[in-house]
Amino acid sequence: MEALTLARIQFAANISFHILFPTVTIALGWVLLFFKLRFNATRDERWMDAYRFWVKVFALSFALGVVSGITMSFQFGTNWPGFMERVGNIAGPLLAYEILTAFFLEATFLGIMLFGFRRVPGWLHTLATFLVAFGTTMSAFWILVLNSWMHTPAGFEMRDGVAHATDWWAIVFTPSMPYRLAHMLIASGLTVAFLLAGMSAWRWLRGDRGPGVAAALRTGVVMAAVLAPTQLVVGDLHGLNTLEHQPAKVAAMEGNWETRPGVPLVLFAIPDEAARENRFEVAIPYGASLILKHDPQGVVPGLNDFRGEHPPVAPVFYAFRVMVGIGMLMIGFGLASAFFLWRRGELPHLLLHGLVAMTFAGWVATLAGWYVTEIGRQPWLVTGVLTTADAIGPVPAGSIGFTLAMYLVVYAGLLVAYVATLYRLARKGRVAEHVPGNAPVPQPA
Amino acid sequence: MTPFLSPEILSVTFAALMAAALLAYVVLDGYDLGVGLLLHMTEEEAERDRMVASIGPFWDANETWLVLAVGLMLVAFPMAHGMVLTALYLPVALMLVGLVLRGVAFEFRAKGAGPRDKRLWDLAFAGCSVLAAATQGWMLGRYVLGFAPGWGAQAFATLAAVGVACAYAFIGACWLIWRTEGALQRRAVAWARGLLWGVALGILAVSVATPLASARIMERWFEMPNLLLLAPLPLATFGLVWGLAALLRHMPLPGDALRRLPFCGAVGLFCLSFAGLAWSFFPYIVPERLTIWQAASAPESLTIILVGALFVLPVILAYTVLAWRIFGGKAMDLRYD
């Protein structure tokens, strides 16, 4: 394979592995703060039980996020030196602000949050929990600002082939930024909602029915019931925004080849880019026009308007269906679970098993969504400014291939170890609660 | 934002910030990695737990200094970032794998199932600390000789790898003298005594090789009046090594007196070595090829970073000090509750 393809696969592998863990920590930080505040207010041990279990998951996820993030900071230079040479004046300050306002904050207060419970006053421990959650969210903010700028660049001018900033306000608040940020934060919330609900359901089914497990299960279900329908609305708004600024991406997502009115909503098909048509298409008439234009006769742009400069269709098309499909499942599970909790106070067995199956659904949907938006941007790295091919460095394909294999082995191993450790913690959680002398200790004043 | 400093001064400011972040990283993660390097010097599991516990609350934040250093190079000197990191592509990748596995081994060893898992993650923790330290040293060796080709340069890089590993292990041992007590502390003193000589040899090797490799650096050090003005640097290094050797012969002292002093001495050695290198290479960011002025980003972009940094860095320092105060004193078992 050529160096460009390998460099792209390598970067995609690294960033896919990396995003799994921030997706957990961004929302889990706030959930931990919620547990801590509930405990502070009620002095009810169930919240502290939930906190103690999930803070371990947080610590593990955070460590994996940090170390895979360090890899990213190097790969900008090793894989894409052209990126910083061309748009470094914009990307640089945004990354610098992420490091300065987020990374140190979360890393330093994480130590206090994890190990400081007996060493600092209660308010300081709560403050540390807040600052860690705030730090992870700030980090998401800055990186999504940069990513959104790459999709819909604004506030700059080109001088001698190099981007120079003219308006920082416009650079930070690009047209796609609010939608992308909201979409990602809710995605993190949903990932954590189903992680909480799924792991707790698993413990519940194994007979581990302590008050902390029930509290986490309930929290996860309520989050899912609120966030999943919200995500449907926010995702739709994000799609409309993309239609305005990156119509070729939407055309690939919908699998629509010709610009025309009354475009159907393709539920399933096999897009054939060579023949420029869909095979085995199953579609709802007028659906796409209705969703995208709010009018059954609305004109929807097609891929043939962007010949030679639209993204590869099949991966965007399939990834979009995976994301939306899981989103629908999430809405179903979230609402059904909330209904049973509300009416009966407990979940039927079948639903508990369903939640266990959905434990990592948020990861799959988040990755699929990122594939839609990032592959959908190709062939551009920065829309209209820099192509991915122009950003590649001089490293030979052999070196990239070797390190790619090395990263893949490490990442596969770590992913297995991570999931295995989560379930091991869940099994141990029960033991810990029933050991005599392990009774909850009141918090120091 | 309108730049309020001239481009020349901005470049120097950012070079200084980057150097400071790199020095902070080398000192802070240096002791973390050093503790990892020393982990298998003891057979006792309780001692290993205590060693890992001593760095537990710190390693995350310590590693962030590397992100800041590399990030500053990325944002302030993007051309240098590309040149240096593509030249060091393979060692960087190996170092990253080392840092990744070292960091997660920390979590996994504590949350693993049985003693067999723990032993495996201990091995990963130690092995990857060695890998990260050695690749960092190797990169230093390649950088110092301007990425020169040939077997001599490779041999020198290997020597630098051993030197940096020794230096990290040394500062790690000094950290343990400060943070532990009893038998483990006595062992740490013995490790530090031996490692000090490795550190001294490493400093000597780099100090001899750099002027021999570059006429420019030779001139910079040995011309009058530089020779006299710079004389305090090697003399202070020599004095510090001698003083540390004398101190370590008598440690641990009654009442645990001077327990911090070896660590402070190690930090001093790191600073002196770093200052020597900085003097040799300034104003080059890629030795003999690219100066900081040639590599710098646009002044308006550097200015907006600088403004942010001036506000945020004091805050970072303040809460770092807070964390060090909270986790001051002897290391205890790590507990989440």
Is B63 within 8 Å of A66 when comparing Cβ atoms? yes
pLDDT at residue A442 greater than cutoff 60: no
Read off the pLDDT of each residue in B197-206 and give the average, rounded to a whole number: 89
Q: Which residues of A, range 148-167, sit inside 8 Å of B by Cβ?
A: 162, 164-165
pLDDT above 70 covers a percentage of chain B that reads: 97
pLDDT of B334 higher than 80: no
The pairing of strands A386-387 and A380-382 is antiparallel
Residue recorded with tokens 């001093």: B268
> Any chain B CB within 8 A of the CB of A430?
no
Nearest CA to B186 among B95, B256, B105, B285? B256
Check: CB of residue B167 under 8 Å from CB of residue B202.
yes
Which residues in chain A (272-291) have CB-CB distances under 8 A to chain B?
none
Question: What does the pLDDT look like over B147-191, one tens digit per residue?
Answer: 888 888 888 889 889 999 999 999 999 999 998 888 889 999 999
Any B CB within 8 A of A42 CB: no
Element (H, E) at A260: strand A260-261
Residue B291 confidence (pLDDT) above 90: no
Q: How confident is the model at residue A433 (pLDDT cuts 50, 70, 90)?
A: very low
Q: How confident is the model at residue A285 (pLDDT cuts 50, 70, 90)?
A: confident
ipTM above 0.85, yes or no: no
- pLDDT, residue A430, reads 57
Given CB atoms, is B158 within the 8 Å cutoff of chain A? no
What does each C-alpha distance from A41 to A33, A45, A147, A444 come to in angstroms? 12, 11, 39, 15
Sort out which chain A residues have CB atoms less than 8 A from B106's CB and list them.
63
Q: Which two tokens stand for residue A114?
A: 């994890």
Q: Do A114 and A29 form a contact (C-beta atoms < 8 A)?
A: no
pLDDT at B336: 66
Q: Tell me, yes or no, if A118 comes closer than 8 A to chain B by beta carbon.
A: yes
Report yes or no: B301 at the A interface, CB cutoff 8 Å: yes
Give the C-alpha separation, A327 to A242, whole Å: 19
Number of cross-chain residue pairs from A and B with Cβ atoms under 8 Å apart: 221
Closest by CA position to A126, among listed A51, A193, A69, A192: A51
CA-based nearest residue to B291, from B11, B3, B98: B11
Query: Average pLDDT over chain A, rounded to whole?
Result: 87
Sign of torsion over alpha carbons B114, B119, B120, B126: positive
Q: Measured between alpha carbons, how far is A219 from A217 in angstroms, rounded to an integer?
A: 5
- pTM over 0.90, yes/no: no
B77 vs B294: CA distance, rounded Å: 9
Per-residue confidence (pLDDT) for residue A403, from 0 to 100: 86
The total of other beta-carbon atoms located within 10 Å of residue A427's CB is: 13
Query: What are the tokens at B26?
Result: 């080398």
How confident is the model at residue A440, as a pLDDT? 40
Compare all CA atoms of chain B with the CA of A406 and give the residue at the minimum distance. B97
In this prediction, residue B337 carries a pLDDT of 60
With CA atoms as reference, the chain B residue closest to A162 would be: B298
**pLDDT digit string (tens) for A122-162?**
888 899 999 999 999 999 999 999 999 999 999 888 888 88
Kindly state the greatest CA–CA separation across chain A: 72
| Alpha-carbon distance values, B25 to B21, B62, B326 (Å) | 6, 6, 21
Chain B residues in contact with A89 by the CB 8 A cut-off are 297-298, 300-301
> Which range, A45-59, B57-71, B300-314, has the best average confidence (pLDDT)?
A45-59
B78 touches chain A (CB under 8 A): yes
**CA-CA distance, B15 to B293, in Å (whole number)?**
10
What is the mean pLDDT of the segment spanning A307-322? 88
Which of A64, A67, A111 is opposite residue B99, by nearest beta carbon?
A67
Distance separating alpha carbons of residues A365 and A369, to the nearest angstrom: 6
What is the percentage of chain A residues whose pLDDT exceeds 90?
Answer: 38
Contact residues, B window 260-299, toward A, CB-based 8 Å cutoff = 297-298
Nearest CA in chain A to B314: A100
Q: Note the pLDDT of residue A194.
A: 96
Taking CB atoms and an 8 Å limit, are B100 and A62 in contact across chains? no
pLDDT in tens, B244-274: 999 998 888 888 888 889 999 999 999 998 9
pLDDT at A1 over 80: no
Q: Among A108-112, A114-118, A317-321, A364-368, where is mean pLDDT lowest? A: A114-118
